[in-house]
């Protein structure tokens, strides 16, 4: 298993994914560049969270992105994590359009089920990604949330030397694994993307 060494920028990640996965380099470059551009636009207030989710969904649809069945590196895990996380958040947001409409209850349930399934897949690969991390390369902690339900439940994982490598979960097995590897710090911090995680949509 390859562990991360030193700072990894966009081009480094693309090269690793190309050689490991044989995904066309151009496709990967477009995906990660546009994904990072959207993160920057969101952090600068140029787009809101809803637009961010919609543009991410359009991105993977337009590029015809497909997930990997197995991962053998952190970079491959990041690829799958982003893929499933984008879909999970998109369908979660879509389900909320029908949440207060009894006539649209079926659509609400369908979209919510899709979202939950994608979140489960996202966590499955995040769990595997921890195999490539250690306490020197990464850290994890609970994040301060406006929602009482999420406080002391939602935690953030930051890979220090990888650009935009910030992940979230509430999965207890992932938390347990982080503790076993001494990556988790038992304290609550402000998220590195606080404006994003605390936007109530």
Q: What is the residue-averaged pLDDT of the chain?
A: 84
Residue-wise pLDDT for 22-61, tens only, equals 555 667 677 878 888 888 888 788 988 888 889 999 988 8
Rounded CA separation 59/76 (Å): 18
Q: Of 15-29, 48-62, 132-146, where does the model show the most confidence?
A: 132-146
pLDDT on residue 185: 97
Q: Is residue 33 part of a domain?
A: yes
Q: Is residue 4 part of a domain?
A: no
Range of the domain at 86: 10-197
Provide mean pLDDT across the span 69-96. Answer: 89
DSSP state of 144: -
Counted domains in the chain:
1
Q: Is residue 20 part of a domain?
A: yes
Q: Is residue 25 part of a domain?
A: yes
Rounded CA separation 46/102 (Å): 34
Q: Is residue 1 part of a domain?
A: no
DSSP state of 86: H
Question: Structure pTM?
Answer: 0.82
């Amino acid at each position: 298993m390859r562990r991360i060494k030193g700072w990894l920028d966009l081009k480094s990640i693309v090269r690793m994914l190309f050689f490991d996965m044989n995904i066309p380099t151009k496709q990967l470059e477009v995906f990660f560049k546009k994904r990072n551009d959207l993160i920057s636009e969101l952090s600068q207030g140029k787009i809101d969270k809803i637009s961010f989710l919609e543009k991410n969904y359009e991105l993977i649809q337009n590029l015809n992105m497909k997930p990997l069945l197995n991962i053998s590196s952190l970079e491959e895990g990041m690829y799958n994590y982003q893929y499933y996380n984008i879909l999970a958040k998109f369908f979660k947001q879509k389900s909320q359009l029908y949440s207060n409409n009894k006539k649209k209850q079926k659509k609400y349930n369908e979209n919510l089920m899709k979202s939950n399934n994608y979140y489960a897949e996202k966590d499955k690969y995040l769990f595997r990604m921890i195999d490539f991390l250690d306490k020197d390369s990464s850290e994890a902690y609970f994040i301060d949330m406006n929602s009482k339900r999420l406080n002391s439940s939602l935690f953030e994982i930051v890979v220090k030397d990888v650009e935009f490598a910030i992940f979230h979960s509430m999965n207890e097995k992932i938390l347990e694994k982080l503790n076993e590897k001494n990556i988790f710090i038992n304290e609550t911090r402000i998220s590195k993307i606080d404006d994003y995680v605390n936007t109530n949509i």
